[in-house]
Amino acid sequence: MARVLRDLLRSNREFGIGIALLAVVVAMAAASALSPYPPNDTYVVPPDIPLSWAYPLGTTSRGQDVFWLLTFAIRNSLAFGVLVALLSRCLSLLIGLTAGYAGGMVDRALMAINDTFIVIPLFPILVLFYFVMRDRMSWVLLALVMAGLGWAYDARLIRSVALGLRTREFTETAIFSGMTARQILLQEHLPYVLPIVFSTTMNNINWSIGLEVTLSVLGFTDINTPTIGVMIYWANQHTALVAGIWWWIAFPVVLVVMTFIGLFLLAVSMNEYIDPRSRLSRFDA
């Protein structure tokens, strides 16, 4: 593992930059455990103080320390993205591999559902969902809904690969040797599609964090759990930009952009590592 990391760092600049960016982001998220203030307490520090030694990223108009608030916000946003990605990955792998391998009626039925999800406009549904749920709206609930809506593109991608794998000789040999459909999917086809899934996982985290920020900025989520979007929402509520409290908006935006770029670079470089063919062409065995 250490050797793999060293090789990746040495031969792949994208990986190095991606790791560095994500390290900063994750360190911020981890720092939330050390916060002297609970995330939802207001007026614990003097409001509207610009960047200073005592408050390195300034304070908000609600009397919160931007640095410590940001640690909670990025922790929640990251956890949200990872949860959505994991759940939707399970769905898209299950549906994509099954549809591709089974073919015929199973494939048609699953893809009909799949295509429905692809053409459904997500944003209005999520807004509608917020108005239905209102006070019962929570972070985990939103993650579940987003996972339920975000699997369709990748399921189609995985299905297209699985469709090709079905007619490969190694699949026929596997069937001939008596492997069950479940074993073939898990042992033969899953490793084949994993690099694709890995790269789309990063993109899916980006997508879900982005959508969550959009919803939160507009106030369509649980605004009492600090996330990057919720932070910007409160800054807007206090007209931070007009009042000149730019640090309240700038630092969450910078941090979430770092997350996006870091995840993207990691997706690109990990993809090359996971596929043994491109790995070997890059490192000399």
Partner 1 sequence: MSILTVSDLRAYYITRAFGIEREVRAVDDVSLSVARNEIYGLAGESSCGKSTLIKTIAAATRPPLRLMSGSVTFDFAGHRIDMHAATSSDIAAIRWRHLSYIMQGSMSVLNPVRRVRHAFIDFAHRHIARPMPEFLDIVRAHLRRLHLALEVLEAYPHELSGGMRQRVTIALATVCRPDFIIADEPTTALDVVVQKDVLAMIRDIQQEIGSSLLFVTHDLAVHANLCDRLGVMYAGRLVEEGPTADLLRSPRHPYTAHLVTSLPRIGDATPRPSLSGAPPNLADPPSGCRFHPRCPLAMDICRREVPTMQTTGTAHRVACFAAQ
The whole-angstrom separation of Cα 277 and Cα 285 is 10
Q: Which part of the chain contacts partner 1 (CB under 8 A), choosing from 90-98, 187-195, 197-205, 257-265?
A: 187-195
Give the residue, chosen from 46, 50, 56, 191, that forms a contact with partner 1 under the rule CB under 8 A: 191
Query: Considering the rule CB under 8 A, would residue 284 count as an interface residue with partner 1?
Result: no
Q: Which part of the chain contacts partner 1 (CB under 8 A), choosing from 46-54, 65-73, 130-138, 178-186?
A: 178-186
Q: Which part of the chain contacts partner 1 (CB under 8 A), choosing from 60-68, 212-220, 255-263, 272-280?
A: 272-280
Q: Which part of the chain contacts partner 1 (CB under 8 A), choosing from 67-75, 119-127, 162-170, 238-246?
A: 162-170
Q: Which is nearer to partner 1, 99 or 211 (CB)?
A: 99
Query: Considering the rule CB under 8 A, would residue 128 count as an interface residue with partner 1?
Result: no
Query: Considering the rule CB under 8 A, would residue 181 count as an interface residue with partner 1?
Result: no
Query: Considering the rule CB under 8 A, would residue 239 count as an interface residue with partner 1?
Result: no
Give the residue, chosen from 40, 52, 116, 173, that forms a contact with partner 1 under the rule CB under 8 A: 173
Give the residue, chosen from 192, 214, 219, 282, that forms a contact with partner 1 under the rule CB under 8 A: 192
CA distance readout (Å), 115 to 95, 109, 170: 12, 10, 30
Give the residue, chosen from 147, 174, 185, 197, that forms a contact with partner 1 under the rule CB under 8 A: 174
Query: Considering the rule CB under 8 A, would residue 161 count as an interface residue with partner 1?
Result: no
The residue written with tokens 């609930």 in the block is 141
Considering only CA atoms, which of 194, 201, 203 is closest in space to residue 165? 194
Q: Which part of the chain contacts partner 1 (CB under 8 A), choosing from 3-11, 82-90, 145-153, 270-278?
A: 270-278
Positions touching partner 1 (CB under 8 A) are 168-170, 172-179, 183, 187-188, 191-192, 194, 275-277, 280, 285
